[in-house]
Amino acid sequence: MNGFQLKFFTQQDRKHAGLPLAQWLLEEARRQGVRGATLITASEGFGKTGRIHYVHFFELADQPQEVTMAVSEDESERIFEAIRQAGVQLFYVKTPIEFGVTGVDD
* 40 touches 23 (CB < 8 A): no
pLDDT in tens, 1-19: 999 999 999 988 899 999 9
Q: What is the pTM of this model?
A: 0.83
Q: What is the pLDDT along the chain (106 residues), one digit of tens a residue?
A: 999 999 999 988 899 999 999 999 999 999 999 999 999 887 666 666 776 666 655 555 567 889 999 999 999 999 999 999 999 999 999 999 999 999 977 6
Per-position b or e across 26-38, b if 16+ CB within 10 A of its CB: bebbeebebeebe
